[in-house]
Amino acid sequence: MQPPIGIELKCQVEHKLRDFVDENLKTRPLIVVAPDMFTGKTLALCGAGPSLRDQEITGADHIMACNSALPYLVSRGVDVTAGVGIDQTPGLLNEWRYPPNVPYYVASSCDPALIKHLRANGRHCIFFHNFVGLKKVDGESDEFEHYCSTWPTTFMVGKGFSVVSRFIGVAQWMGFERIDVYGADHCFGDDDIAHANGESAKAAYGQPIIMDGEIDGRRFRTRPDMLLGAVDLARRARDSNGAIRLIGDTLPNVLVEKDDKYLDQVARALGPDELAEGKINLNYGAN
């Protein structure tokens, strides 16, 4: 077996994140998620992958849509309960340029320009914390301590590699007993379509590093962070005893029946002593 290829994922705005968190604390009214808000309810959590176009969303008490899935579903007449975003770059500001009239669950580390835009349009913002590894300098507290000492008590999510998978933790803390996941493709569609609204991989990500591979005789094209996210989401759904259900023809759904040994061969986080010679540095937008 060849040694693993090391790919380092770096957020392009990581040096701004502490300032983002502090600026968003000034939002008025300041509303944070609370536990057990939706106890016993079911949620359809929608990513923006191409498979979203092929699915009818049924059987859920609430529908929450991430990123560009929100305007896409609203344009199709779907009764969306709320929008969800964790992006720390201006990308989400563009996708929500004309924000539908729903509440927005957003990370405290989002670009403050996005929050101000939503508030200027009369939209309610409901915050949760998204662990991003705030850079600590002399005299500053670590990330968890900073949230606890400055913000009202709320939830901090620390697991997942995409907005969908990270919000699953928030949704479970809010009490949803089952989460049906739509549009979490973690791979590109035909002609490298990235999103259900028809946006291509090039339009969405510029010049992304694209990985091409075969699983069970099928070819998949994806990005490194999306592949890692697919493995993580497959594991979580597989081990959830039905509390997380993956809907549609997606890469995580192809992986969900695989064992841990197989999934580790697809993608996994590497320790510093496991890297092959050199590594690929990949800046990403955090969505």
Residue 55 is predicted with a pLDDT of 94
pLDDT at 8: 66
- The two counts, helices (H) then strands (E), for the chain are 10, 13
Which residue numbers in the chain have pLDDT < 70?
Answer: 1-11, 138-139, 272-287
The predicted pLDDT at position 184 comes to 98
In the prediction, which pLDDT does 286 show? Answer: 42
What pLDDT is attached to residue 287?
A: 45
- Residue 53 has a pLDDT of 97
Alpha helix stretches (DSSP H) within 45-194: 69-75, 91-95, 112-120, 143-150, 163-173
Which residues lie closer than 8 Å to 161 by C-beta, 6 or more apart?
Answer: 225, 226, 228, 229, 232, 233
Query: Which pLDDT value is given to residue 141?
Result: 76
Q: What DSSP line would sit under 23-34, residue for residue?
A: HHTT-SS-EE--
Q: What is the pLDDT of residue 208?
A: 83
| Cβ burial 167-185 (10 Å sphere, 16+ → b, else e) | bbbbbbbbebebbbbbbbb
Domain map (residue ranges) of the chain? 12-271
Report d(CA 96, CA 134) in Å as an integer: 26
Report the alpha-carbon distance of residue 58 to residue 50 in Å, rounded: 18
Give residue 272's pLDDT. Answer: 65
Angle, alpha carbons 236-95-199 (nearest 5°) = 80
- The radius of gyration of the chain from alpha carbons, rounded to an integer in Å, stands at 18
The pLDDT assigned to 169 comes to 96
What does the angle CA 56 – CA 40 – CA 57 come to, to the nearest 5 degrees?
5
Measured between alpha carbons, how far is 219 from 124 in angstroms, rounded to an integer?
42
